Structure 1
Amino acid sequence: MIVITAPTGNIGRKVVEHVLNSNVRVRVIARDPSRLPSRTHARLEVIEGSHNDLSVVDRAFEGADAVFWLCPPDPRALSVTAAYVDFTRPACAAMIKYGVRRVVSISALGRGTPMAANAGYVTASLAMDDLIASTGVSLRSLTMPSFMDNLLRQAAPIKHQGVFFSPINGDRKLPSCATRDIASVAARLLIDTSWNGRDDVPVLGPQDLSFNDMARIMSDVLGKPVRFEQVSFESYKAGFIQRGMSEAMAQGMTDMARAKNEGLDNAVRRTPANSTPTTFRQWCEEELKPAVIEA
């Protein structure tokens, strides 16, 4: 039995599809089961509720061999620790109770780097992994850079103004990955029963690109000029607060961006094993372009 959390999210729904294709039993935890795709709903065992609820994970983890763990976004959390570590505590208790063997978590690059000590969401993600590992489960932490898919949030300014924004230097080359590839790696590990112990699994995408590089590719794919504009860290944080994010979580986003600007995501060397196939150009053609047209 494989349990998948956040099954209606951008990553989780793709994990569900991959794992179902392997003909193993799948149980999901969903706050709103109506959001599950109709084509997969009938093939799933569904536990309704939040996966930070002890009564919910207690039902979900009984008989489970493996768990896909993803903390959902909580923009109004009181701290990044609350959003990641505290959210995960009930699940860890249930993992111990039911002897869950293997966990695949969604985490972040940066372990072992000086920048990771004050990197907001990244720091909290790494602490979350430490908490999960302390239960004695075998753990594979998928350590990711920024997602290409995050740029979908800026589809409107890309369409209407021909611009996208970040506080990160426009010439700093960084790895990025597509959520489709993250889901593929996660599903492969969930289905594979041969691994044990603890390890990080970087998911780096095929190529390091700067935001200026991305702007040139966007311009080519969209057939219109697109430029990158660097904003200050102060205005970056203020924008999140204006959109309703708590001060602590806005600061966490800002600290993470600052750490990435200082090289947090560049510490892991790309290899054939940690490179995933979806190029940024392909992602723009298949994901960004339709989103921009609809924006």
Structure 2
Amino acid sequence: MMVITAPTGHIGSRLLDILLNEAPTRGEELRVIVRDPGKLPEAVRARVDVVTGSHGDAEVVDRAFAGADAVFWLAPPDPRAPSLDSVYSEFTRAAAKAFTAHGVGHVVGVSALGRGTPVADRAGHVTASLAMDDLIAHTGVAYRALANPAFMENLLRQVSSIRDDGVFTDVVAADRKAPLAATRDIAAAAAGLLLDRSWTGTGEVPVLGPEDLSANDMARIMSEVLGRPVRYERQSLDDCRAALAGHGMAEALVEGYIAMMRAKDDGLDAGVARTPRTASPTTFRQWCEDVLKPAVQA
């Protein structure tokens, strides 16, 4: 039995699609934890065991992990949480106890790059995510943290600006190159680990995409794919802070994002070399063709 958390998100929904194709041929049963089962397609609900509720709730994970061999773990965003710890480690604490209580053997979690870098202890959300990894690892389960850079899907938050104004923003230097990953590749990495549970111990699995890109590179590729000019505008940290606060995000989380962005500009994502093992296949150009362009045209 495999349990999938956050099955309606970018990563979880793609992971579920992969597992629905692969798991039955291996005799694997699937269970999902979801707050609103109605957000799952009817065809999916018919093929999985559904536990309704939050996977931060002790009673819910106690029911969901009974009989489970493996769990996909993703701490969901909570823009109004009072602290970073409450989003990551505190949210995960009940599940960590349930892993032990039910003898769950393997857990695959969504985390971040940065462990071992000089800025890892002052990287806001990333620092909190790494602490969550440590909490899970200390339960004794075999654990793999998917160590991710920024997601390509983050640009979907700026579809209106890209479509209407031909502009996207970030706080990094325009020519700073960094890895970038598509959530489809993160889901594929998770599926591979969940389906082949021959691994033991704890560790990280970086998902780095096929190349490092700068914001200027991304603007050029978007312009070519969309057939219209797209330019990058660098936002100051103060302007970014004000924008996040303006969307109702709690102060602790705003400061966590600012710390993470500052750390990324200081090389947080540069600590892992790209190799055949750490690279992932989806290019930014392909992602723009498959995902961004239809979103802009819609």
TM-score range, shorter chain: over 0.9
Over the aligned positions, Cα root-mean-square deviation in angstroms equals 0.6
| Unaligned residue ranges in structure 2 (runs of 5+) | none
Residue in 2 that maps onto 1:288: 292
Decide whether the 8 Å contact of 2:8 with 2:39 is kept in 1: yes
Deviates more, 1:33-42 or 1:219-228: 33-42
Q: Structure 2: how far apart are the matches of 1:163 and 1:291?
A: 15
The secondary structure found in structure 1 opposite 2:119 is helix
Deviates more, 1:19-28 or 1:197-206: 19-28
AA matched with 2:39: R
From 195, 202, 217, the equivalent of 1:198 is 202
Q: Structure 2: how far apart are the matches of 1:108 and 1:170?
A: 22
Q: Structure 2: how far apart are the matches of 1:118 and 1:279?
A: 30
Please list, as runs of the form range in 1=range in 2, the aligned pairs for 1:29-108 lying within 5 A after superposition. Answer: 29-108=33-112
Please list, as runs of the form range in 1=range in 2, the aligned pairs for 1:1-295 lying within 5 A after superposition. Answer: 1-22=1-22, 23=24, 24-294=28-298
AA matched with 1:120: G
Task: Give how far 1:39 is off.
Answer: 2.2
The secondary structure found in structure 1 opposite 2:168 is strand
AA matched with 2:222: M
Task: Give how far 1:254 is off.
Answer: 1.0
Q: What is the TM-score normalised by the length of structure 1?
A: 0.99
Q: Structure 2: how far apart are the matches of 1:134 and 1:267?
A: 24
Q: Structure 2: how far apart are the matches of 1:232 and 1:58?
A: 44
The secondary structure found in structure 1 opposite 2:280 is coil
Q: Structure 2: how far apart are the matches of 1:247 and 1:269?
A: 34
Q: Structure 1: how far apart are the matches of 2:197 and 2:273?
A: 27
Q: Structure 1: how far apart are the matches of 2:124 and 2:245?
A: 15
| Unaligned residue ranges in structure 1 (runs of 5+) | none
Aligned length: 294
Q: Which ranges of 4 or more aligned residues in structure 1 deviate by more than 6 Å?
A: none
Q: Structure 2: how far apart are the matches of 1:190 and 1:159?
A: 38
1:115-159, Cα deviation, whole Å (9 max, x unpaired): 111111100000000000010000000000000010010000001
1:218-269, Cα deviation, whole Å (9 max, x unpaired): 0000111100000100111110110111111111111111111111001100
Decide whether the 8 Å contact of 2:116 with 2:271 is kept in 1: no
Identity percentage over the alignment? Answer: 59
AA matched with 1:287: V
Task: Give how far 1:185 is off.
Answer: 0.6
Q: Structure 2: how far apart are the matches of 1:243 and 1:36?
A: 27
